[in-house]
C-alpha cells in the first residue's frame, strides 16, 4: 500500500533500530573465547599452510599418559580407615550393664572377665564389616593408613583385622576349659560386636587428589619460531600433541581482558556491517517490505535465532553445526517475499554464523550452495511434494559438496566427512517441518503463502459454495474475472495465485442481496423498479461492506479482504448516478451517495482485479462478440478507470496497462467465441416436416 514520505522514513528508522538490537544480542551471546583457526585430526593430512610456533608452547602430556600417572598414584596410596573408639566403649558398657542385671546371679565373674577381655582385644585389633574385609583380601591389601581419635595416621597391617563373624567364632571357640561354651553362647555375643573400623573414602580421595595435583601437566617447551608442521604433512602423535598444546594456550591467552575487548569490538563491527548491508538492500531495492515493521522483526528475528543456535551449538552443546537447518530461513523468505531477498538474507546469516563455526570456509561453501539450490528449485510452495523435492536436492548438494571438499583437500574421503552425512540426514528431517513453520508464521505475522491461497481458491470452500448457491450469476462472473485477472497478472509478473484468489472472493457480498444484481436476475421483475436511484445505489455499494463483513466472519486473510475493499475503489455507481443527474437537470448533484467507500487499489494485483471486474461486467452487455467490439470495449473501460485516477496508488505502469489490455482482448475473444451451427440429418428433417404436415 502507498505510504507518505514521512511514514516511510519512520519505518526505515524502526527497521534500522531492530537490526542494531539484533546485532547487539548476537554479540552478547557470542562465545567469549577466541576460536582456534585450525582443525586437525591425528593421522590426517595437514590441510593448512605452514605453521610456526608464534611463542613458546608448553607441551602438554597426552591425556592417556596423564591418566596413567594419576591411576598409578591412586594405586600407590594405601586406603584410609578410621577407628571409632566410642564404639568400643559403648559395647563394653553394654556388656557390663547386661552382666550385672541379667547374668551375675547365675554365672560367675569368670564369665564376665573372659568376655570383657575378648571384646577389648577384638576392638583393639579392629573390627570391620565382612564386605570391607573381603574387599581388602581380594585386592591383596596388606596395609592401610589407620586414623586414630587424634586424627593421626599410621600404617596398620590388615592381618590384624577381624570381621564380626570371625570375632564371634573366636570368642566361642577359644572358651577355656573352666567355662561352659554353651553358657557363652547364651550371652548373645552378637549384641556386643560392632565394626569400629570403617573406610575413610573422603580422606583417601583428598590425599589422592593432592598427590595427583603435584603431577606436572607438561613434558617440556616447544620453542617460539620453530616449525610445527607444513602443508601436506601427516599429523603423527608428537605433532598432534604439539597442536593440542598450542590450541589450549591460544584459547587461554585469548581470554585475557585486552584480547576479549578487542574481539568484542571487532565482532560487533563486522556484524553491524553485514546487517547494515542487508538493511540497505531492503531500503533501496525492497522498500515496500520494510514499510511494515513486522517484516523487519521477522527477518531480523529469524537471523538472530539461527545465529544464537549456532553460538550455543559451538560453545555449549558441541554438536555438528550441519545439523542446524539454515535452509529454512531462505525457504520462508522466498515463500513470503521473493527469491532475491531470500538469497541476501541467507548470505548474511551464513556470513555471521561463519564467525563462530570451525572450518568456516567449508561451512560457507556448503551453506551458500545449498541456499542457491533451494531458491532456484522452489519458486512457489503449493504442495508437499515440492518441499520434499527441494529437501532432497539440498541433501544431495550437501553430500556431494562435502565429499568433493574432502577429495580436494586430502585426495580421500575421511571419516569426518562420512559422519557428517548423518548430520545432513538430520538436517533434511528438520527441513520437512518448514510446512508447519509456514502455517505458524502466517498466524503470528499475518502473512499469506501460496499454500493457503491454493486452499482458499478451492471452489468447494464453504463461502464459495454459498456464493454459487445463492448468487449463481455472481459466482459465474467471479470465475470469469479470475480467469481474466490471472492471465493479466501472469503477463506482468504479478502474484498470480493471490490475484486468482482475490478475484474469486471479490463479490461475495452480493449473495446477501443477490436479486438486486443483474447477473442473478433470470429475466424476472427488476427489484430496483420499486426504489429510487439513491436507494438502489446504496444497495449496490453495500455489497462491498457486506463482503468485508462476510470475509472477516469466515476469517479470510487481510490480503484477500483487500481485494473486496478495493475492487471498486472510490468509483461511482455510474448507471444510477447518471440516471439521477438526468432526473434532476440543472441541479448541483452531491456524488457521495453514489460513491464507493474505497480505498483505491494500492498494488498491481488489486489494480488488475479492478480492471478485470469492470471489463468482464461490461462485456456481458455486448450484442456481438467480435474483435472490434471487444477491443473497443476494453480500451474504453480501462482508459476511463485510468482517467478517473483510480489506479494512481498502484505501481502499474503504462506498459503494464497496455499488456493487460492485450490479454483482456485475447481472453475475451477466446471465452466468447461463436460456435458453428450443426446441420441436421436430411432424413430426420423430412420426417419432421411430415409430422408437421399431419398436424
List the domains of the chain with CATH numbers: 5-32+259-447 (no CATH), 72-212 (no CATH), 457-672 (1.10.3210)
* pLDDT at 665 (0 to 100): 94
pLDDT reported for residue 689: 56
Name the packing angle between helices 201-213 and 63-76 (round to 10°): 140
Question: 295 CB contacts (<8 Å, ≥6 apart)?
Answer: 15, 289, 337, 445
pLDDT of 550: 95
User: Torsion angle of alpha carbons 196, 201, 202, 204, nearest 10°?
Assistant: 110
According to the model, what pLDDT value does residue 2 have? 44
Burial 455-477 (b: 16+ CB within 10 A, else e): ebbeeebebbeebbebbebbbeb
Report the candidate in 544, 559, 389 with the shortest Cα–Cα distance to residue 457: 559
Do residues 237 and 42 touch, judged by C-beta distance below 8 A? Answer: yes
The C-alpha cell of 15 is what? Answer: 527497521
- What pLDDT is recorded for position 695? 44
Work out the number of other CB atoms within 10 angstroms of the CB of residue 631: 16
List the one residue out of 303, 378, 294, 286 whose CA is nearest residue 337: 286
Exposure string for 429-447, b = 16+ CB within 10 A, e = fewer = eebeebbeebeebbeeeeb
CA distance 182 to 220: 72
pLDDT for the residue 259: 60
DSSP for 641-676? HHHTTTTTTS---HHHHHHHHHHHHHHHHHHT---P
In the three-class reduction of DSSP (H, G, I as helix; E, B as strand; rest coil), residue 127 is classed as strand
| Measured distance CA(323)–CA(72) in Å, rounded | 41
Please give the C-alpha separations between residue 83 and each of 80, 129, 144, 149, 151, in angstroms, as whole numbers.
10, 13, 12, 7, 10
Enter the pTM of the model.
0.67
pLDDT of residue 314: 83
d(CA 363, CA 342): 18
- The stretches in the chain having pLDDT less than 50 are 1-2, 7, 694-695
Grid cell at residue 115: 568376655
Q: Would you state the cell numbers that stand for residue 30, as one nine-digit string?
A: 557470542
| CA gyration radius, the chain | 45
φ, ψ for residue 45 (rounded to 5)?
-80, 140
- Cβ(576)–Cβ(536) below 8 Å: yes
pLDDT tens, 627-646? 899 999 999 999 999 999 99
Residue 231 per-residue DSSP state: T
The C-alpha cell that represents 53 in the structure block = 610456533
229 - beta bridge partners? 51
pLDDT digits (tens, 9 = 90+) for 511-520: 999 888 888 8
Is the peptide bond preceding residue 165 cis, with omega within 30 degrees of 0?
no
β-strand 143-147 against 80-83: which pairing, if any? parallel
Amino acid at each position: 500500500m502507498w505510504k507518505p514520505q514521512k511514514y516511510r522514513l519512520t519505518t526505515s528508522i524502526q527497521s534500522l533500530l531492530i537490526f542494531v538490537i539484533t546485532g547487539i544480542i548476537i554479540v552478547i551471546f557470542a562465545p567469549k573465547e577466541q576460536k582456534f583457526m585450525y582443525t586437525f585430526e591425528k593421522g590426517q593430512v595437514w590441510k593448512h599452510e605452514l605453521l610456526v610456533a608464534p611463542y613458546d608452547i608448553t607441551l602438554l602430556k597426552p591425556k592417556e599418559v596423564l591418566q596413567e600417572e594419576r591411576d598409578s598414584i591412586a594405586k600407590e596410596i594405601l586406603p584410609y580407615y578410621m577407628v571409632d573408639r566410642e564404639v568400643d566403649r559403648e559395647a563394653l558398657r553394654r556388656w557390663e550393664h547386661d552382666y550385672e542385671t541379667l547374668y551375675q546371679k547365675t554365672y560367675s565373674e569368670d564369665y564376665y572377665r573372659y568376655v570383657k577381655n575378648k571384646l577389648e582385644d577384638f576392638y583393639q585389633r579392629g573390627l570391620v564389616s565382612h564386605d570391607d574385609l573381603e574387599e581388602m583380601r581380594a585386592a591383596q591389601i596388606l596395609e592401610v593408613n589407620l586414623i586414630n581419635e587424634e586424627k593421626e595416621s599410621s600404617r596398620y597391617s590388615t592381618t590384624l583385622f577381624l570381621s564380626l563373624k570371625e570375632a564371634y567364632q573366636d570368642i566361642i571357640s577359644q572358651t577355656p576349659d573352666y567355662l561352659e561354651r554353651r553358657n557363652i553362647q547364651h550371652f548373645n555375643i552378637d549384641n556386643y560386636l560392632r565394626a569400629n573400623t570403617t573406610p575413610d573414602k573422603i580422606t583417601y580421595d583428598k590425599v589422592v587428589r593432592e598427590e595427583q595435583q603435584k603431577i606436572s601437566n607438561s613434558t617440556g617447551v616447544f620453542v617460539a619460531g620453530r616449525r610445527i608442521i607444513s602443508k601436506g604433512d601427516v599429523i603423527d602423535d608428537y605433532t598432534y600433541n604439539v597442536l593440542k598444546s598450542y590450541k589450549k594456550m591460544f584459547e587461554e591467552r585469548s581470554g585475557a581482558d585486552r584480547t576479549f575487548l578487542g574481539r568484542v569490538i571487532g565482532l560487533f563491527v563486522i556484524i553491524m556491517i553485514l546487517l547494515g548491508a542487508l538493511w540497505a538492500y531492503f531500503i533501496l531495492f525492497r522498500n515496500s517490505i520494510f514499510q511494515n515493521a513486522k517484516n523487519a522483526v521477522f527477518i531480523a528475528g529469524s537471523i538472530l535465532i539461527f545465529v544464537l543456535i549456532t553460538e550455543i551449538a559451538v560453545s555449549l552443546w558441541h554438536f555438528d553445526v550441519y545439523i542446524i537447518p539454515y535452509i529454512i530461513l531462505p525457504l520462508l523468505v522466498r515463500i513470503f517475499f521473493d527469491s532475491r531477498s531470500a538469497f541476501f538474507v541467507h548470505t548474511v546469516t551464513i556470513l555471521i554464523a561463519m564467525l563462530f563455526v570451525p572450518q568456516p570456509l567449508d561451512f560457507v561453501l556448503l551453506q551458500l550452495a545449498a541456499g542457491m539450490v533451494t531458491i532456484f528449485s522452489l519458486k512457489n510452495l503449493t504442495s508437499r511434494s515440492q518441499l520434499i523435492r527441494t529437501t532432497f536436492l539440498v541433501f544431495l548438494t550437501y553430500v556431494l559438496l562435502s565429499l568433493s571438499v574432502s577429495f580436494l583437500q586430502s585426495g580421500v574421503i575421511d571419516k569426518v566427512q562420512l559422519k557428517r552425512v548423518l548430520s545432513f540426514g538430520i538436517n533434511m528431517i528438520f527441513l520437512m517441518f518448514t510446512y508447519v513453520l509456514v502455517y505458524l508464521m502466517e498466524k503470528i505475522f499475518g502473512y499469506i503463502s501460496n499454500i493457503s491461497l491454493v486452499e482458499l481458491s478451492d471452489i468447494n470452500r464453504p463461502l464459495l459454495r454459498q456464493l454459487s448457491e445463492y448468487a449463481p450469476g455472481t459466482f459465474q462472473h467471479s470465475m470469469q474475472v479470475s480467469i481474466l485477472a490471472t492471465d493479466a497478472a501472469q503477463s506482468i509478473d504479478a502474484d498470480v495465485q493471490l490475484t486468482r484468489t482475490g478475484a474469486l472472493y471479490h463479490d461475495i457480498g452480493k449473495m446477501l442481496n443477490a436479486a438486486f444484481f443483474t447477473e442473478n436476475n433470470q429475466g424476472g421483475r427488476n427489484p430496483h423498479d420499486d426504489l429510487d436511484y439513491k436507494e438502489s445505489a446504496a444497495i449496490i455499494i453495500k455489497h462491498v461492506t457486506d463482503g468485508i463483513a462476510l470475509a472477516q466472519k469466515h476469517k479470510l486473510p487481510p490480503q484477500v479482504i483487500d481485494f473486496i475493499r478495493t475492487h471498486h475503489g472510490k468509483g461511482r455507481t455510474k448507471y444510477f448516478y447518471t440516471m439521477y443527474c438526468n432526473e434532476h437537470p440543472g441541479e448541483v448533484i452531491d456524488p457521495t451517495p453514489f460513491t464507493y467507500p474505497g480505498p483505491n487499489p494500492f498494488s498491481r494485483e488489486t489494480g488488475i482485479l479492478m480492471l478485470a471486474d469492470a471489463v468482464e461486467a461490461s462485456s456481458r452487455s455486448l450484442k456481438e462478440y467480435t474483435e472490434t467490439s471487444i477491443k473497443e470495449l476494453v480500451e474504453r473501460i480501462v482508459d476511463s478507470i485510468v482517467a478517473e485516477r483510480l489506479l494512481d496508488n498502484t505501481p502499474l505502469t503504462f506498459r503494464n496497462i497496455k499488456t493487460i489490455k492485450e490479454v483482456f482482448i485475447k481472453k475475451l475473444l477466446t471465452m466468447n467465441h461463436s460456435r458453428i451451427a450443426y446441420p441436421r440429418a436430411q432424413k430426420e428433417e423430412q420426417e419432421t416436416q411430415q409430422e408437421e404436415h399431419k398436424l
